[in-house]
Structure 1
Amino acid sequence: MYETLEILRDGGVATVWMNRPEVHNAFNAQLIADLTAAFRALDADDGVRVVVLAGRGKSFSAGADLNWMKAAGAASVVDNLADARKLAGMLRVIAEMTKPTIARVHGAALGGGMGLASACDICVAGDKAVFATSEVRFGIIPSAISPYVLRAIGERQAYRYFQTAERISAARAVELGLAHELAEGDALDAKVAEIVGALLQGGPKSQAAAKALIRAVANRPVADAVVEDTARRIAELRATPEAREGLDAFLGKRPAGWVPGG
């Protein structure tokens, strides 16, 4: 269905493989369009529980295709803005999925590739993975990816890495909060599978609500409006069929209905 992607399904898990290995899965207009359409379709598919984003070849994603960037630089301001909006929109579609998302990062995750890793809920990095916000070295800025990278590493660290464009090792990425786990050697897929297994134990609607909760509460002071909002959210969820099933399953010492094989 997609020119630049390969999507594999295994039960409720969909793995989206970026498939431009000859250019290290660099972004161009087609890859941006394909990722946008694929993540929208997977979010709407009730059979999908978890989405893993990965890259074929030697790299996760080396960021923007330089030929595409050069063409954009030569285009009119109107056309340039349209392209930038498509990139920003794609990242937002991934970041705001209702379902859990995992970035499986190996090799390079540079510029927009680091943005993809940050836009996903969870990032698992192989020990040879390397990240960077490399844009200033091309005379531009990490603009479209900035909301997600800032969310991952914080404002203070962004002041350094947005300006220096230094390479960030997998171990340093874990220290910064960019990556949740570092997988040694050939253990990357096993670590991803471990986290997928944990995610499949949770209720789909409660996971979607948990993501919405984070967006609603993060970086807001604990004021009356926030306290009231959190009370309302849990009260509404406790009355749902999913919550009743979860409690019944726990008390009955059985897997909940949403657990594979349960």
Structure 2
Amino acid sequence: MSDIIIKNAVAGDVATITIDRADAGNALTIEHLGQLSAAFRAAGASGAKLIVLRTTGADFCRGRDPAGGKPSPTALAMRENLVAPILDVYDAIDGTRQPIIAVVQGAALGFGCALATACDITIASDKARFRLPEMEKNLPPTLAASVMMGRVPRKALTWLIYSMEEIDAATALRLGILSSVVPAAELDARVTHHVTELTTRSHEALAAMKEYMRVAPAMAPRGAADYGASLLSSVLSSAKR
């Protein structure tokens, strides 16, 4: 049984998920991934308006820890035991009604880079660093690419994968991995400011915007406009009750 390193707490309108494995750079085993998916779903089912994802220590997440896990003698078993838990984290993020803010203070490597990218808003310290190193072990990071390709331009993502180069926070911001970069000393204050501002918005407005950004980018322009009109009408109608 894995140690419990994913902490989930709700205070008022904010649910906070904390990955607490600083001694391992917050790298996550398969068992930890299951905890993380469960934490996102529990936070999503709470009455919170907003979810904040944090990690302890100097690093955000140094990727996947290969320790533990079940034997996977076949491709089918490999998909079930290794691949499915990773995809389930992305599905849990995508499936919450609340916007998720990730706070990145240091290294975000491999799965950590994808995790930072997957969240709705990602605020990073100017000391943060990002890298997709999987090809060093001849492991194509297709799962990371699957969640990043809707946010990072194709040429840039391809370069990150094949070159395995580390990029700084300013570059990650330009590529769409991040929403905002702030000086390290101001990171917590800036996150608090944005959280305070967002929690003054209604549940309905926040949820509608997350839903729109989840669905509309894959739609034709006319369909996206019609869907937006339906969501807006629903929010306006709720506000009048």
**TM-score by structure 1 length?**
0.84
1:75 to partner: Cα distance: 4.0
* Preserved CA contact (<8 Å) 2:49 2:203: yes
1:236 to partner: Cα distance: 2.9
The answer for the alignment partner of 2:39 in structure 1 is 38
Q: Which shifted more, 227-236 or 26-35?
A: 227-236
Secondary structure in 2 matching 1:153: coil
Calculate percent identity across the aligned residue pairs: 26
Read off the aligned partner of 2:41 and give its amino acid letter: R
The answer for the alignment partner of 1:103 in structure 2 is 102
Any idea what the Cα deviations from partners look like across 1:182-233, whole Å, max 9, x if unmatched? Answer: 121311111111111121121111211111112222143323x444333333
1:40 to partner: Cα distance: 0.6
1:9 to partner: Cα distance: 3.6
Structure 1 Cα separation of the partners of residues 156 and 112 of structure 2: 18
Are 2:115 and 1:116 aligned? yes
Secondary structure in 2 matching 1:187: helix
1:11 to partner: Cα distance: 2.3
Structure 1 Cα separation of the partners of residues 28 and 117 of structure 2: 16
What pairs up with 1:71-220 in 2 under 5 angstroms? 75-82=73-80, 83-220=82-219
Are 2:18 and 1:22 aligned? no
Query: How large is the RMSD of aligned CA atoms in angstroms?
Result: 2.0
The answer for the alignment partner of 1:230 in structure 2 is 228
The answer for the alignment partner of 2:220 in structure 1 is 221
1:98 to partner: Cα distance: 0.7
Read off the aligned partner of 1:55 and give its amino acid letter: T
The answer for the alignment partner of 1:239 in structure 2 is 237
Q: Which shifted more, 6-15 or 153-162?
A: 6-15
Structure 2: gaps (5+ residues): none
Structure 2 Cα separation of the partners of residues 74 and 228 of structure 1: 46
Secondary structure in 1 matching 2:221: coil
* Preserved CA contact (<8 Å) 1:49 1:99: yes
1:22 to partner: Cα distance: 1.7
* Preserved CA contact (<8 Å) 1:58 1:106: yes
Read off the aligned partner of 1:41 and give its amino acid letter: A
Structure 1: gaps (5+ residues): 246-262
Read off the aligned partner of 1:95 and give its amino acid letter: D
| Residue correspondences, number | 238
Cα gap change, 1:40/1:74 in structure 2, threshold over 3 Å: closer, same or farther?
closer
Cα gap change, 1:237/1:126 in structure 2, threshold over 3 Å: closer, same or farther?
same
Structure 2 Cα separation of the partners of residues 218 and 111 of structure 1: 25
Read off the aligned partner of 2:39 and give its amino acid letter: A
The answer for the alignment partner of 1:259 in structure 2 is none
Structure 1 Cα separation of the partners of residues 186 and 198 of structure 2: 19
Cα gap change, 1:235/1:131 in structure 2, threshold over 3 Å: closer, same or farther?
same
Cα gap change, 1:43/1:92 in structure 2, threshold over 3 Å: closer, same or farther?
same
The answer for the alignment partner of 2:6 in structure 1 is 5
**TM-score by structure 2 length?**
0.90
